[in-house]
Structure 1
Amino acid sequence: MSSLLLRHHRPFLAFWFARVFTASGFQMITVAIGWQMYALTGNVLDLGLVGLIEFMPKILFILITGHVADRFDRRKVAALCQGAQGLIALGLLLGSGAGGISREMIFVIAFLLGTARAFEMPTTQALLPNIVPSNLFPAAVAASASAMQAATIVAPALGGLLYALGTHWVYGPAVVLYSCALSLMLSLPARQLPLKQKVSLESLLAGFRFIRSRPAVFGAISMDMCAVLLSGATALLPVFAKDILLTGPWGLGLLRSAPAVGALLMSLWLTRFPIERRVGPVLFTSVAIFGVATIGFGLSTSLWFSLAALVLLGAADMISMVIRSAFVQLQTPDEMRGRVGAVNGLFIGASNQLGDFRAGVSAAWFGTVPAVMIGGVGALVVTGLWIRLFPELAKRDHMHPQPNPQPPSAAA
């Protein structure tokens, strides 16, 4: 993290820790309910359904979440979402202690968790520029990304180890983490610009129009969505851990953490050596590497080779994420950041949660390994197709559009 941010911007430090605590709590819960569901039913389709149900609120509330982030105090909205997730963790703690966790209850929990995160994601994305001056914003984005990846590394592995001791060892700490995040979020200063525009269908749809009007932004986020949607294998990790790699909850935790290891290392590299030239070719190459790494993971029967493939996958995905985020954040005015963030979150959710559902359905139809292989090939197909659909993005050199040089005026 930038030392300048730490010295001069305590609000960013509070925001940083709040994001780490929230991400850690979510990852721990996700590992626990994934293992719990597979232990209850042994059905890979149920793992996919959990991802689908968690994604549904992003679609149902897409026109509301971004508008809430732009109209109301973002600190309070984010804190309310984190408090709701803390209550969900508390419910899981009490339900597990009473032996009342069932397949149907996990589905309900997934929907509630997805609803809270559907409102939290665009709010926290729009909140960061309100607490960091523009000259430090790129460093803040990089520091925030590395913090999230660090939490994603530690929390799933810790969640798997704690789950082996008992479910209450997972859900209890998650309650504490969400409570800390809520307190830190409320401590941030209120610097949000009020949204003066009245609520209307036009204002609700503004985020969609904004992204669609910028081909580079739309091409980047849609390619990432389609590639991850086709090749995502996160929902199947419990199957790989238990039936293919012959490990336990601790192994599942390592598998969940491995992509974040690659993403963290890559985010640290990009902080030191940012992508300044050949942005388009780098973006398309990273998505292709993502597909190849997915194929390698699907073919592996070794835990260590699988972990290496997932590390490579996470590093490639981080490159795509950095480019996509830069396009969105650098071109969006503050009064629209919530609505644009909600649309971007819909794309991300479609790739992740719907990708989990796609993986579960494919595994039920074709088998676990073929499902992953099909997804990896699909990511390569998307890369080639998007090169043809968005040639300007594929050839783009700089992150920012370069001004056309003006010819010298003729001498009088």
Structure 2
Amino acid sequence: MLKINSRQSLVRKRGAVHKVYVPASARENQYVLVECKLGRQWIEDYIEQPLTTKRYDDFYRKLSHHFFDSCKKHQLINVNFIAKDQLVRVRYGEEQQVIETPQQLIFLYNPASHSGMRSFYDVNFLTDKIELLFLSTGDEVRQDSAHFHQRVSQLVNEWRTEIKMPLSNFKIKDHQHLTWDIYAAEKGDKATKTHGFRKLHDRYQQQSFILPSNRNCLNFAMATLPMTMNLLQQCDIDLAAEDPYNPLYTHVSETFAKFAKQYNLNQIAIIANGKVPIIRHAQEEYFYPQGELLRIGFQPDQLGGSFISQWDSRNMVDSINLVFLASDSDFTSRGYGKFINHLTSALKDMCAELNFCPTRDAITLRFYQHLSYQLAASE
């Protein structure tokens, strides 16, 4: 009996390593972004006349209304038609709004309560592609994610047939986030829920929705450290120096690298230059600033480590972003749970050394799961 009980206890302990207990208040988001390439000949066929005008409001209005009619038919209630050369980003927000910058369209919304149909285009600019943004709605975003993706796929296949658009012009991108404060319990938020963080296509397959095999997947986490007085007091900052904040960023970077190594987190990045990190799957590692953005490419199948450090030593930022890539070796048969637990432990150890206050400071952790594929590959 003792041997049986010991064996069961060992199994439970091993299983617990792969389970992540996140706050019940963790925020869930999912959106599907469909890219559709346009061509001059197709546009002329669609509007049934030569494209001679330099104003394109009639074309955009006709195409967007056609799209919204299909959305109503499929009961997709929070959708956006976008014909602008800007990066689309989605975040949780208690108030639904869209923030537009020269390079970004940032959508803030609450899946449980917001809906709408909006168009974004410049009547004087003919884009080479449109983007159709579908925002998931409801109270069980993660649980319903496969069904939501399937509904979007069905709509796109039907809509492209109606507008006589080739399959090869379409690309579907599924983005899912789960966001929480790693110190939620210390602030009194004791309730938790369990996640295993399986791959998206595994979750979908369990619900009888099979994705095409020719797809790109990317899984990573990003933590945001606020710039606090306790952190600033860790180093001597000489405001008269040419690079006054270099000692601070060097200290944070070295502390980050130390604990990442301790927990075997091999592909990481630290960003402290005020730019928005955009993480992509790449055949070769890269990083380059582009205006408001910092584009970073990681190789999930890379065997060695990678540490990207980008900071502006002349300026103090409001927050520091830490990126943890989930490489192929971080995935187990049970999911990415062990990876999330390791990086959470690394973050807590790091924040303790940097003198963050668990009851006061919010250390936001967001786990991203992305996949993309050409629509033609699914046919």
Structure with higher Rg: it is 2
TM-score of the aligned structures, taking structure 2 as reference length: 0.28
Q: Which structure's residues are more often helix, by fraction?
A: 1
- Structure number with greater CO (CA < 8 Å, separation at least 6) is 1
Which structure has greater strand proportion?
2
